[in-house]
Structure 1
């Protein structure tokens, strides 16, 4: 039982990778749309590359989006609007007329018969006005015919039979010419007071009727019978047969997805996605073993793939026209920031291949996204410089626009039908890509990783830890600055991460703050505290600065990538001075382990560069009257000893790169110790 538990404990990292792989595959397949895949790939304007295709079953030909939109526009243009007649307003007008008539036609001016005639004439005019109603003047009819709804019954009528308020005076003059012309002004004043519009456009009913009409549009036109020839081999896929092929593809996918075979289709998706992610794991295991062994970094990569798949599927389910709004180039940007360009591009390509299952026009999508990913990898450098990110995003957006424009010309053969709004989607994609900066900060906090932006902040010598180092151990601080300059120059020369190397060099000796006077660079008098200690105790103090440096760095929340430099900058080398001193005092009984750093040895080019620069800079203080020849032999001896001791066997650094580093160190030390002209007194 104990042996089984021990075996499980040792294998837990591998088990975690299996679980991560399975969970990611399951999540991606879950996001996939429920439907089969048409087994033929076709593009408009390209010849049909397969054998003659015959209809496997009866299916309807779907109308194109342009045809459907044309029909909708025709219905909208021909729609007859609805207007509602308000009978209550009509009653109110008649009541107000009865109350106000005597004010404008005083009964004392007329005999009873004449007064009644004038009143009846006014009522007749109101009847004429309200026989069809008076329009309120809003939302004018845009057709010759309208539907007038009176008492919940709609009847058609000519729109010009509706009278507007502004036309009442001229209508009254026309109606009163025969026999009542002298009373025109009175009638106009009276009607101005009492008449109110009672016909208004019923927007809700009009919209509802329009929706009903639009819903009656048939989505198909014609049928293709089973066994009929759909397209012949070599025939160019043009507008008509392209539409037929799309109809067959949609019908095929819906027919294929049924309860009987849905699990088979899901199984096929699962196998393909599992293969893609397996390729990623194999790549990491072979070419990026440090990332493969680190489950946090592995999880980080898989989570980013999942996020991109989820966002793309979400957009497709809403409207696949917006698929290029998803800022997929954020993925290689982030991975290049935290890892390297090759890994970023590899993961980007695999993610695009996965998305090829679900996006429309998969070939066009895959081509554009891979091109954009390559441009991202090639152009983005020093992301902590804001201008670089804006320039890179501009280039990515340009690639999208040019690629889409080229595909449109290939498919359509002209530029007349370009959907210009798609260019807006590409611009929106570019703006969303700029969100990578705050996203990097979020990832740093969640996964404990470090980017060049954080490294730039850590390189500030006014940071709390470095300021404390400069106060407590000024000699060590100056030594760290010199080492940082040497290491940065060497890293630049061989293409390593210069920013990371510089930051690692600045912090590599922070452990010396606890006992600064026990290190020669901090001794300002001739008194050496080691003279009063035995060699083993002196060696213990010297060796402890590595462990104490790691503890201090963790206390100040320095990232692990920087702590790696503290841990490895002496590798497994020996404190030879005190070892030799102990041997002289104790003979052959000295335990070598007590005088050797615990390691580990450098495991990257950057940590290897720091070990070389640190040893060379520290030892260079002992040179007397240095010349270029002396410096050259001195550097060769120190670095050669480290190589001979196997300190760089785990670092991804070649002999050629080591020689380049040595060359840079020689040049820099020569510049530091160059001879000056002796000035006369």
Structure 2
């Protein structure tokens, strides 16, 4: 007994919608994972230095080659020559040294003279004062040179740079001669050092001193001394500029663009030798790392989780029939992805671009027709991303962006072109349109890669792109009936087909109950306009109205619109029997529709459009003719009450049309009054309690009914009767 209870418990769990939906999502995630698993799985290669490559290997991503970049930068730096700058301040420095020498000579002479004069004052000599030359002559040249060295700056070692004769000549010259010599020396040094003088050019620059001083008007000894002094002053003024050199080298290094191994770039071809450079690039690309990594799998799991979550959160707010539409969505996406995977296997036999033949638009078309446009867009994104992984070739990258863009545009094009026109002919036109778009997209992708559009190799792919759209449309048309029949889907295209007057059931209504047919058409006009006014499915309301009274075909003469001025059979039978006949048309209609495999929505309209309303006429007739108490419940329709807005609107429209048609002279005021009365009666009777219709929507429905009825029962001009006169033959 306990085992039976456990078994029943498990059966109950499996019948639970939440369990089935969870199972569907897990199944969808599993299909996605195993479809893309092999394309992101790291490939293990046996790569050895100086061995031949077993296969052609391309870079899986854009990788910066830091080592090669640094090598190129070093080469660029080595090619930069040292920068030497001319120091203009050097000329002034040397001129200042010349000035300092002449000033020191003057200072030494002045001190010697002052010292000599002081000695004369101490002795109180009455002899005549000695001349300048006499005072200077008392001091030996060696003493003068010594004093001169002391007077000069420590860095100027005059006795080491100039000969003793040159120093003596400078000391022996008169102040006037020295001034002339100083001016010419400064001019010569300035002229020579105003030009670039590199170290190897110093000797030639010093030779120019003779040329600069050839016209100096001084004694030969002093001239030679000045020449020697100027040669001493001439020094190199072009020196190594460390900062400029470093800046130039930095600029050269920065001018080198980083070296990259491009995504899809062939690192080594099959059979080629793996040298050190190739081996290093293989290492950078990660091909030498034989450790198993879980990162690609984790990334794939996260991506699939994102896909499944997007679908789940959309259907979670789907209210009704979540299981059915989730199943359809997952089934269509799975079929398309499995088809992609099967076709991708041909990549291994010299069909590298076989992905362009995949009729991926089929999935978008089916979801657009069977569910809605928003979910078709979501499916387009999922299929495009999945396809870009499946057709990545397994070597160049995790994604094949070209095929991904191609799939996405193909799906979106099919959704946009299909629009609201869902006839089978329109689907074929959509397929042709998608084929043209595919051709254009493929051409754009080829040109973006700087390829040749017209070539023997690419021609088959362009043909495949054209066929892809047409095949997608054909497959969509072929699979559509299976989904409609298997899941009871009432698509827009199916509704349009059911509205065809040549449908057997509509012809049955027209031929057997012409009054009911006319009434149904009027109800269809009222219902469609009212549904569109509140955002409900107007097409469903129209088609459902055509079939809502099909049960009357079983006993057509018992319904007043079909009696054609005949005797009313209800006058001869009891109210209870009349009630049974009238109310049975709802159940009879539903049974007849089920017998002909009509969609559930149409069956529900036939069964629920009267809800549990009261047959007031026959109820009052029964109460008048019976002495016993007559229960009101016995004269109500079996129901159930309207479950959707469309059914509620059709039920109200049915009563409004019948009521207005029975009026002798319907005026706008009377029509408006009867509409409001019927809606009020339905509300008070609780017939609208089980559908999510609002009071605001009922106001819009009443307004729509009134406008439609006014168009039908508009005022007409009364034409005068023309008296027919007999015309006698001549």
Partners of 1:217 and 1:479 in 2: CA distance: 80
The answer (yes or no) to whether the contact 1:480–1:508 under 8 Å persists in 2 is yes
Equivalent in 462, 469, 473 of residue 434 of structure 1: 473
SS at match of 1:290: coil
Q: Distance in 1 between matches of 2:689 and 2:48?
A: 67
Match of 2:579 in 1: 539
Structure 2 match to 1:212: none
Residue 621 of structure 1 deviates from its aligned partner by 1.8
Select the residue among 617, 633, 638 that pairs with 1:592: 633
- How big is the alpha-carbon RMSD for the aligned residues of Structure 1 and Structure 2? 4.7
Is 2:420 the counterpart of 1:392? no
Measured after TM superposition, the shift of residue 322 of structure 1 is: 2.1
Aligned mates of 2:258, 2:631 — CA distance in 1:
85
Are residues 510 and 387 of structure 1, via their aligned partners in 2, closer, same or farther at CA, if it must alter by over 3 Å?
A: closer
Query: 1:488 touches 1:501 (CA, 8 Å); kept in 2?
Result: yes
Structure 1 residue matching 2:321: 3-state secondary structure: helix
Counterpart in the other structure of 1:242: 263
- Show CA shifts across 1:626-667 (max 9, x none): 122222232233235445666556657666665554444323
> Is residue 601 of structure 1 aligned with residue 604 of structure 2?
no
Aligned to 1:328: 360
TM-score (norm 1): 0.62
Q: Does 1:566 align with 2:606?
A: yes
Tell me the TM-score normalised to structure 2 length: 0.58
- Counterpart CA distance in 2 for 1:680 and 1:365 is 76
1:30-52 deviations in Å (ceiling 9; x for gaps): 333425468xxxxxxxxxxxxxx
Distance 1:465 1:60 in 2: 80
Cα drift, residue 16 of structure 1: 2.5
- 1:483 equivalent to 2:523? Answer yes
Q: Which among 376, 379, 399 is matched to residue 414 of structure 2?
A: 376
CA contact (8 A) 1:292 1:298 kept: yes
Partner of 1:29: 33
Contact 1:230 1:241 in 2 (8 A): no
Counterpart Cα distance in 1 of 2:382 and 2:505: 42
Q: Is the deviation greater in 20-29 or in 419-428?
A: 419-428
Question: Aligned runs of 1:473-512 on 2, under 5 Å?
Answer: 473-491=513-531, 497-512=537-552
CA gap 1:595/1:491 in 2 versus in 1, 3 angstroms: closer
Distance 2:563 2:66 in 1: 96
Task: Structure 2 unaligned segments of length 5 or more: list them.
Answer: 71-255, 269-280, 393-398, 722-730
What is the match of residue 166 of structure 1? Answer: none
* Residues 1:555 and 2:587 are matched in the alignment: no
Q: Distance in 1 between matches of 2:543 and 2:328?
A: 24
Equivalent residue for 1:284?
315
For 1:622, the equivalent position in structure 2 comes to: 662
**Aligned pair partner of 1:313 in 337, 341, 360:** 341
Please give the secondary structure, in 2, of the residue aligned with 1:558. Answer: coil
Query: Would the aligned equivalents of 2:383 and 2:407 in 1 still touch at CA under 8 Å?
Result: no
Residue by residue over 1:490-530, the C-alpha shift from the partner in whole angstroms, topping out at 9 and shown as x without a partner, is 45666655443332111111112223233222234564444
1:344 aligned residue: 376
How much does 1:489 deviate? Answer: 4.3
CA 1:528–1:256 in structure 2 vs 1: closer, same or farther (change >3 Å)?
farther
Q: Distance in 2 between matches of 1:238 and 1:615?
A: 81
